[in-house]
Amino acid sequence: MEQQTGHLIDAAAELIARSKRTVAFTGAGVSTESGIPDFRSPGGIWSKFDPEDFTYQKFLADPGARRKHWELIRGSFSATARPNPAHYAIAELGRMGKLECVITQNVDDLHQRAGSQGQKVFELHGNLKWAVCLSCHERYSSDEVARWLESGVEVPDCPACHGVLKPAAVFFGESLPVAVLQAATEHARACDLMLVIGSTLTVYPAAYMPVYALESGARVIIVNLSPTPLDRDAAVLIRGKAG
């Protein structure tokens, strides 16, 4: 296995070296080695929580759903998580001028904390750095909200207007940030190589990104521990750990 993976990594490196416009597309699998669980692996977040309870509609309608949301966030996305070698390698490619951008489904800010340039990280599903009041649109840092949660507040509301406070991540049933989706789509269609790392490629419209790349004639390299619907389209498929 090791020897075969070595050849695959060499093949991937060759494609990266020759590429003129490489884009990285990442999912939760790039952060599991930082201690953040992914969603659909055994033991992942959706094996502990029911995704049906985590829709935008339920969050708006039901304080109990909001309490569950804040509980999930506190339990799964520890602020102490650190970038892992996968995040650092992607940031290094950026510093080498070999990466146009990172398109990520993740909300953990680890690409930015590993050194990927903020304006070149497209967070399709928002991020957990902020919480936003749905009434007055005031923003609060997640550190500040974490302090309220630590002090026993179960469903924090907006201190300014007592409106519903929502993490800035995109929930099921919520639309993705339009400008971010537009820019990411343009990069996906313009690249000649896409590194697809740590995603089941099952949640849309994010999972269209590698499809747009393939449709535009780009090569795709997939690094993923489990099968994805695009495995047979990959120029290089590495069934291994992102780190």
Task: Report the catalytic residues.
Answer: 125
Considering beta carbons, is residue 40 or 98 the nearer one to ligand APR?
Answer: 40
Q: CB–CB of 168/129 below 8 Å?
A: yes
Considering beta carbons, is residue 111 or 125 the nearer one to ligand APR?
Answer: 125
Q: CB–CB of 72/54 below 8 Å?
A: yes
**Six-digit token string for 91:** 């940031």
Considering beta carbons, is residue 39 or 148 the nearer one to ligand APR?
Answer: 39
Q: Give the shortest CB-155-to-ligand APR separation in angstroms.
A: 21
Q: Give the shortest CB-21-to-ligand APR separation in angstroms.
A: 23
**Cα(214)–Cα(191) distance, rounded to whole angstroms?**
9
**Six-digit token string for 53:** 């309870």
Encode 62-85: b = buried (16+ Cβ within 10 Å), e = exposed: eeebbebbbebbeebbeeebebbe
Q: Residues interacting with ligand APR, by CB under 6 A?
A: 27-29, 32-33, 38-41, 44, 105, 125, 198-200, 202-203, 223-226, 241-242
Q: Measured at CB, which residue is nearest to ligand APR?
A: 29
Q: Give the shortest CB-184-to-ligand APR separation in angstroms.
A: 13
Cα→Cα distances 23→123, 139, 188, 237, Å: 14, 30, 7, 16
Q: Give the shortest CB-172-to-ligand APR separation in angstroms.
A: 7
HEC profile of 78-144: CCCCCCCHHHHHHHHHHHCCCCCEEEECCCCCHHHHCCCCHHHEEECCEEEEEEEECCCCCEEEHHH
Considering beta carbons, is residue 76 or 148 the nearer one to ligand APR?
Answer: 76
Considering beta carbons, is residue 27 or 167 the nearer one to ligand APR?
Answer: 27
